[in-house]
Amino acid sequence: MGKSIAIAGKGGTGKSTITAMIIKYLVEIGEGPILAIDADPDANLGTLLGLEQGTSVGELREDVLATFKNFPAGMSKAAYVEAGLHDIMVEMKGFDLITMGRGEGPGCYCYLNSLIRKFYDDLAPSYAWVVIDNEAGLEHLSRRTTGNIDALLIVVNDNPISLQTAEKVNKITEQISNVIRLKYVVTNMVPERRREALMEKVKALSVPYLCDFPLNENISDLIMDTGSLKGFDDPEFRERLKLIIDTIDTKKGG
């Protein structure tokens, strides 16, 4: 069984950026195959990784509900969903990406959600790493459309509300039935002048601190110019990414 990392935190703290960097790093060090899951309804992980926007699980779900009556004879809903899930998976060099898309609208999705969960359970063991970009609400974790997690990274920045969100995320994860083995706070893009004051607050959180991703203007320049993080390489970031992966590896099975 491979390892899984979920990234959570307040909106705009850098979850998707860090998720994309973790995926890029794992691919670069040859730690494949990797399953990347974009569990944020406002999906942009694919774009950050330099991919075209594909179909989401949410759209597939709508499609199943809309066309169920016209299914080919003999084709069950389960078979249709499974074939669809395979189709919408974007297969890249070193990683595959699934975009979850919008959550539940009106109508009952429970059955479809359980099919997605089964698909995940069947699929996840064939990957060395599963990396999940969450929305702050952790909807997919709590609905169990994704499984147990080895490490949850909660991203905070110098916005004090992001610290409150970190505590909320921690509480939510204590209430859900999924097992989360390791939880860490990581800081991102903290201006130098606020670092000391912020670190005081970070160290008082219920979740231990792991590392800091510096504010790096090349990131916003790259996003501005190309929309993706392709080509971004920075020794400081590498060092933090290595620490994250090594920490999870070292504490695996602990």
Ligand X SMILES: Nc1ncnc2c1ncn2[C@@H]1O[C@H](COP(=O)(O)OP(=O)(O)OP(=O)(O)O)[C@@H](O)[C@H]1O
Site for ligand X in 127-186 (CB under 6 A): none
What gap in Å lies between CA 189 and CA 217, rounded to an integer?
A: 10
β-bridge pairing 90-91 and 95-99: antiparallel
**Does residue 16 touch Mg ion according to CB under 5 A?**
yes
In whole angstroms, give the CA distance from residue 117 to residue 16.
22
Q: How far is the CB of 182 from ligand X (least distance, A)?
A: 20
Q: Which two tokens stand for residue 99?
A: 């975009």
Contacts of residue 54, defined as CB under 8 A and 6 or more positions apart, other chains included, come to 46, 88, 90, 97, 99
Q: Which residues contact 32 (CB under 8 A, 6 or more apart)?
A: 26, 94, 95, 128, 129
The DSSP secondary structure of 122-137, one letter per residue, reads HHGGGSSEEEEE--TT
What token pair was written down for 119?
A: 């698909």
Tokens, residue 236: 């400081």
Q: How far is the CB of 90 from ligand X (least distance, A)?
A: 19
d(CA 249, CA 245): 6
Q: Which does 188 bind (CB under 5 to 8 A by kind): Mg ion, ligand X, none?
A: ligand X
Indicate the SS3 state at residue 135: coil
236 binds, among Mg ion, ligand X, none (CB under 5 to 8 A by kind): none
Residue list 218-247, contact with ligand X (CB under 6 A): 219-220, 223
Say how many C-beta atoms besides its own lie within 10 A of residue 155's C-beta.
28
User: Which member of 2, 12, 32, 54 binds ligand X (CB under 6 A)?
Assistant: 12
| Choice between 78 and 223, CB closer to Mg ion | 223
Sign of torsion, CA 237 241 243 244? positive
207's tokens: 């979740």
Quick one: which segment of 7-15, 88-96, 100-108, 161-169 binds Mg ion (CB under 5 A)?
Answer: 7-15
Residue from 14, 46, 58, 84 touching ligand X (CB under 6 A): that is 14
Give the residue, chosen from 3, 6, 15, 232, that forms a contact with ligand X under the rule CB under 6 A: 15
Q: Which two tokens stand for residue 101?
A: 């898309």
Q: What does 173 bind: ligand X, Mg ion, none (CB cut-off 5 to 8 Å by kind)?
A: none
- Is 17 a binding residue for Mg ion by CB under 5 A? The answer is no
Residue 2 binding: pick among ligand X, Mg ion, none (C-beta 5-8 Å cut-off by kind):
none
| Residue 56 makes contact with ligand X by CB under 6 A | no
Residues 193 to 222 in contact with ligand X, rule: CB under 6 A:
213, 215-216, 219-220
Of residues 43 and 115, the one with the C-beta less far from Mg ion: 43
Q: Which residue ranges make up the site for Mg ion (CB under 5 A)?
A: 15-16
Q: Which residue ranges make up the site for ligand X (CB under 6 A)?
A: 9, 11-17, 40, 42, 188-189, 213, 215-216, 219-220, 223
